[in-house]
Amino acid sequence: MSDPNIPRLPITSPGDLLAAVPYLLGFNPIDSAVIIGLTGTRVVVASRTDLPQPGDVAAWADEYTLTQIRMLANAAATRAIAVGYGPATTVTPVMDTVIPRLTAAGTDIFDALRVTDGRYFSYTCQDPACCPIDGVPFDPRRSDITMHAIVAGCHALPDRAALVASVAPTTGPARVAVTRATAHARSRRRALINQAGRDGLIRAGDDAVRDAFARYADEHTLTDDELAWLTVLLPVPAIRDAAWRATDDKPWQAAMWADITRRAHPPLAAPPASLLAFAAWRRGEGALACVAIDRALAAHPGYTLAQLIDRALRAGLPPSVLDGWPHPEQPTA
């Protein structure tokens, strides 16, 4: 999903568009199929998936095409651009299969491109004056789009693996310290339940959530003990929902949940990772939201909040569909 807070970039050519793609996704795509949805001249949605093996294209395309059609419709996109990153042997079978299906479903394909070894090739333009058979060389590092994106505060990681690594569990002494702090926090939670019951636990959770938000808003982080205490309380739905209601599209909130997700004792990562996904989604950072969901479901495959956000992401729903929700009196996941 594109970030509505990013200023419009002056895209006037396929090379400009390709220079912008990494900033739409948050990383540089490799061996990927990318669909970009537009309303008029404005990008409203962008999605990426791994290219299938050539022998798997037909079966893969059935689900992929339906997903992209739903995504474009939910984003109110009026036309689309398809881009394949990789060699012709893997990109062309995908384009030859997906483009006719999208067109048959009523999608207006503005262009279809392949990016291979620093050159782009068009599947829709046959004019050698603008689309020579040996492709058009382009260097995104020399593009004005890259300069505009950087000035606007956008960033693009080298690849998706770097994005996954950005939410991966910490290791070494930091992991040992939080594991030890989590054991103490669990003992503290049991003692609190015995002393003050569920109501006391929820009050403590509300305090922990409020303290965490105040700490990160002030550009500080939680100590290991504070983080461990929060993460043993977040699995309680009422406490998780208090954190959920407080989470919106502020950059420091996504950074907060990313820090907590990385440092949390891995079995307790599902709630903070889901909240990171929600914060990223609200900011239009769909790629970060997706890897956060993967992290949440790896920790707890049946976690309902992660599943809910995952379905919304796969459908290409805009973040605005959950503006003002969950309401304190409404049931949540």
Give tens-digit pLDDT for 13-27: 888 889 889 988 889
Q: Are 124 and 109 in contact (CB under 8 A)?
A: yes
| Cα separation, 150 vs 168, whole angstroms | 25
Number of domains in the chain: 2
Domain boundary among 106, 135, 162: 162
124 and 178 inside one domain: no
Residue 39: C-alpha distances to residues 36, 122, 148 (Å): 10, 21, 21
Residue whose C-alpha is closest to residue 212's, from 239, 236, 184, 192: 239
Report the b/e string of 227-254 with b at 16+ CB within 10 A.
bbbbbbbbebbebbbbbbeebebeeebb
71 and 186 inside one domain: no
Element (H, E) at 136: strand 136-137
Confidence of residue 3 (pLDDT cuts 50, 70, 90): very low
250 and 150 inside one domain: no
Residue whose C-alpha is closest to residue 292's, from 248, 262, 318: 262
Containing structural domain, residue 97: 14-162
Sheet harboring 119-122: ordered strands across? 42-50, 32-39, 79-85, 109-116, 119-122, 136-137
Residue whose C-alpha is closest to residue 271's, from 333, 321, 178: 333
What does the pLDDT look like over 263-309, one tens digit per residue? 999 999 999 999 999 999 988 888 899 999 999 999 999 999 999 99
107 and 152 inside one domain: yes
Question: What is the percent of the chain where pLDDT is above 70?
Answer: 90
Confidence of residue 1 (pLDDT cuts 50, 70, 90): very low
| Amino acid making up residue 304 | T
| Cα separation, 255 vs 275, whole angstroms | 11
Question: What is the percent of the chain where pLDDT is above 90?
Answer: 69
Rounded mean pLDDT of the chain? Answer: 90
* pLDDT for residue 11: 67
What does the pLDDT look like over 166-202, one tens digit per residue? 999 999 999 999 999 999 999 999 999 999 999 999 9
Element (H, E) at 46: strand 42-50
* pLDDT for residue 153: 65
134 and 269 inside one domain: no
Structural domain includes residue 310:
yes
201 and 92 inside one domain: no
| Cα separation, 188 vs 228, whole angstroms | 11
Q: Token pair for residue 75?
A: 């984003």
171 and 219 inside one domain: yes
| pLDDT tops 70 at residue 329 | no
What does the pLDDT look like over 89-113, one tens digit per residue? 999 999 999 999 999 999 999 999 9
Confidence of residue 126 (pLDDT cuts 50, 70, 90): confident
58 and 40 inside one domain: yes
144 and 175 inside one domain: no
Identify any residues that bridge with 136 across adjacent strands, giving them in sequence order.
120
* pLDDT for residue 325: 59
Structural domain includes residue 285:
yes
Domain boundary among 131, 162, 193: 162
31 and 136 inside one domain: yes
Give me the phi and psi of 303, to 5 degrees please: -70, 120
Q: Token pair for residue 119?
A: 């050159």
| pLDDT tops 80 at residue 323 | no
| Cα separation, 25 vs 206, whole angstroms | 34
| Cα separation, 286 vs 291, whole angstroms | 9
* pLDDT for residue 138: 87
Helix (H, G, I), strand (E, B) or coil at 113: strand
